[in-house]
Amino acid sequence: MSPRSLSSLTPALLLLSLLLSTAAVVRAGVPEQQAIVEGANDPVAALWQRMQRGEAKLDATSEKTFLASVLRELKIPVESQVLVFSKTSLQNSHITPRTPRAVYFNEECYVGWVQGMGGVMELIGMDGERGPQFYTLTIPTQKDEKPELGRSEQCFSCHEGSRTGNVKGMLVRSVYTDASGQPQLQDGSFLSTHESPLHERWGGWYVTGRHGNDLHMGNVTATVDENSQTRDIRLDRKAGANVLDLSPYIDIRSYLTGSSDLVALMVLEHQCTMHNLLTAANEQCRQAMLRQHEFQKAFGEKVTDSPQGSALGVFNSHVDKLLHHLLFCGEYELKDDGVEGAVAFQDAFRANRKENAGGRSLKDFQLRTRLFKDRCSYMIYSNSFEALPPQLKTMLYTRLLAVLNGTDASPDFAHLSASERENILSILRETKKDFPRQ
């Protein structure tokens, strides 16, 4: 098993695995509803408030129409759909290889839906300063019934820990599952990031797209050789390779689209880690400055907004982590002519791209040896990035500029050619107003 293998973990593929049993619930139209979104500044809270003002209405004709209208209001493309068949939460009685959970996302939101779940949807909205906000939303089943919004703190038993940087966050996990979708955790699991080799990715996921002979764990379940003296887990990766049609696996009519695109999965893996790093940086740097101010006041020193001492160490640590992930350090090099996913997802993902005068953007795919042409994360435009403490952002921009203009010749960034650095620099200077020009 690889060093990335993690052997004693909660159920894998935990993205959006909210525990619903103790969710606080409020019904639309009653005064208490504001308690759920009070102080929140995320797209889900904004949608709920629009609904209360009568400015948005969700179509509850069926679960699918309700889901489609939620995605439309949150500006999440249907084409981002990825499907998970591992059992991952209290919903696991409804999740099987025939009825996988659907996950949809954009840069600011994540939505999870399980068909036949009694009309409960899971949502995460990114609040720039407070991090991810976890919600449940019920789908009306009666004519005069209204949607219900809820929260559950218990979801943080999975979504807050060392695997998310000790902050509330998201993670994409890969496991061996049995024929029912039950994770076989005793056989290990993997945390999927843009650094993961394909052979460790997507266990418990459906995966559509071409990837040649570089095999992944998706589309198949595992078997165990009971005759072996030691437990022998077997996974036929070839049987799940280069799948373009999920009709033999599921009834695709039950879903908004018939795909679970591998490029969407790769984007999701990068984005979840980036969100977690941004959340951690925001929280921990702000806390460091509060401690510094308290220390300065206690000792009668001048209160300064420039990080010093231990606070400076915290800032430098997060600058380093953010910089390395922004620039795709350690990204797995795609093999066998790379991967090929659905054009529909790529077009939907790039619809809000920010281009320079030459038409280049940070959302342009390469897919032969890596995910993107110009390796600086599109998440630099996200609300979570914009909400970083100004001191941290200034320090990060200084380091980023040094890498892009060649001043920083660290081997950590040797994967970026001179021309790629020039392209990234041009894109940022023309599309990001606060990026330094010198």
Q: What is the mean pLDDT of the chain?
A: 89
Show the tokens assigned to 53: 């003002």
> Does residue 11 form part of some domain?
no
- Whether residue 264 is contained in a domain is answered as no
The larger pLDDT score, comparing residue 224 to residue 287, is at 287
What pLDDT was estimated at residue 326?
99
Place 231 in a pLDDT band, splitting at 50, 70 and 90: confident
In a domain, 271, yes or no: no
pLDDT at 17 over 50: no
Band (416; pLDDT cuts 50, 70, 90): very high
CA distance 95 to 116: 9
User: Does 202 lie in the same domain as 145?
Assistant: yes
190 and 146 co-located in one domain: yes
Kindly state whether residues 243 and 281 are assigned to the same domain: no
pLDDT at 21: 34
- Mean pLDDT of all residues in 81-96: 86
Same domain, yes or no, for 117 and 249? yes
- Do 234 and 333 lie in one domain? The reply is no
* pLDDT value at 160 more than 80: no
Q: What is the pLDDT of residues 108-150, one digit of tens each?
A: 999 999 987 667 899 999 999 999 999 999 988 887 788 999 9
pLDDT at 22: 36
**pLDDT at residue 4 tops 90:** no
Q: What is the pLDDT of residue 9?
A: 35
- What mean pLDDT comes out for the span 395-408? 98
Residue 269 lies in a domain: no
- What is the number of domains present in the chain? 2
Is there a single domain that holds both residue 227 and residue 295? no
> How far is the C-alpha of 62 from the C-alpha of 52, rounded, in Å?
21
Question: 226 with 364, same domain?
Answer: no
Residue 314 and residue 414 in one domain: yes
pLDDT at 167 over 80: no
Same domain? For 247 and 282 the reply is: no
Q: Residue 366's pLDDT is what?
A: 99
Domain match, 349 and 405 both: yes
Q: Could you tell me if residue 18 is inside a domain?
A: no
Asked if 179 and 238 sit in the same domain, the reply is: yes
pLDDT digits (tens, 9 = 90+) for 181-190: 998 888 888 8
Q: What is the pTM of this model?
A: 0.90
What is the Cα–Cα distance from 418 to 431, expressed in whole angstroms?
20
- Domain of residue 133, residue span: 24-254
Asked which of 254, 287, 314 is the last residue of a domain, the reply is 254
Does 392 map to a domain? yes
**Whether residue 214 is found in the same domain as residue 310:** no
Q: Give, in order, the Cα–Cα distances in Å from 72 to each of 47, 54, 184, 245.
A: 11, 16, 36, 25
Start-to-end C-alpha separation, the chain = 47
Q: Given this model, what pLDDT does residue 2 score?
A: 41
Would 10 be classed as within a structural domain? no
Q: With respect to residue 67, please indicate whether it lies within any of the assigned structural domains.
A: yes
